[in-house]
Amino acid sequence: MVDVLLALEYAAEIGADVVNLSLGTIPLPPEANAAGLRAARERVANQILRDGTVITASAGNSSANLQHGGWFRFYPSLAGTVAASATGADDLLTFYSDYGTNAIDVAAPGGGVADAVKSYCGILEYFLEGRIADPGEEVRLCFLEPEAVFPIPVPPDYPGAECFPCTTSEYPYPLNAILSTMYDPATGEYGYDWQGGTSFAAPHVAGLVALVRELDPTMHPRQVENAIKRGAEGAAGRSDPDFGAGRINALSTVERVVR
């Protein structure tokens, strides 16, 4: 955590418009805020905001309600941080995204859809047959742990695999995911791969922050956040447990900034 706080300070020192924290922690109980840890985090985050850098962060991938019981995640709970949940190709909260009233600021595309089965439907065809299943095609889906938050897709002959039929949606796997730059530690090579998670939603928000700042470099981080929230859609008010102020809309946000 100390390294992250130091990185935030460095980002502000060099005048970065935005710093994104697509970093994961498990949902933590209230007592994890003891021993002055929260005060230290808040002090750094507030200084970053005063220096003019916006902080965005991924909400987490545990399908956890961050509103009840005082549970929280370190980075999206930092003062002034824009916490992002993940929407899917169906424009609904994805099956894995954390949520919670007052815990989520905005939502952004993160890959997958609201239903885990529909998210992975077509994965065997993609990997075993080297093709993308057609929308509406009847295919098979096999999981090692189908009840897990992130089920583990496996081939049909994998020991312990549970297989069942499914119908691919308008956006079959992997087209409902996010095409992202990736690093393969086994080969040492960089490339692209289809991924899903709130870690891929938060960078969409960071990119929109950069766009807003390009249009008006003088905007304070709070003003940037408010502009993005005003331009968001799909939520009533700003306290929707799934979307916060809504799913971000770059065009709407830009139009509001340039008026």
At 11-38, the pLDDT tens digits run 999 999 999 999 877 777 766 666 666 7
CB 241: neighbour CB atoms within 10 A? 17
Q: Which residues pair with 82 in a beta bridge?
A: 56
pLDDT of 202 > 90? The answer is yes
List of residues 6+ apart from 219 with CB closer than 8 A: 212, 213, 227, 257
Q: 198-215 and 250-258 helices cross at what angle (nearest 10)? A: 20
d(CA 45, CA 54): 9
Q: Determine the 3-state secondary structure of 60 from DSSP.
A: coil
Q: What CATH architecture is 2-111+180-185+195-258?
A: 3-Layer(aba) Sandwich (3.40)
d(CA 128, CA 206): 35
Give which of 56, 18, 50 is closest to 200, Cα–Cα.
56
d(CA 101, CA 236): 12
pLDDT of 105 > 80? The answer is yes
**Strands, sheet with 82-87, edge to edge from the N-terminal-most edge strand:** 18-21, 54-58, 82-87, 106-109
Element at 50 (helix H, strand E): helix 37-51
Question: What percentage of the chain exceeds 70 in pLDDT?
Answer: 95
List of residues 6+ apart from 168 with CB closer than 8 A: 121, 122, 133, 134, 135, 136, 137, 139
Backbone phi, psi, residue 222, to 5°: -65, -40
71: confidence class by pLDDT, cuts 50, 70, 90: low
Backbone phi, psi, residue 212, to 5°: -60, -45
Residues of the chain with CATH 3.40.50.200: 2-111+180-185+195-258
At 121-136, the pLDDT tens digits run 999 999 999 999 999 9
10: confidence class by pLDDT, cuts 50, 70, 90: very high
- Please state the pTM of the whole predicted model: 0.92
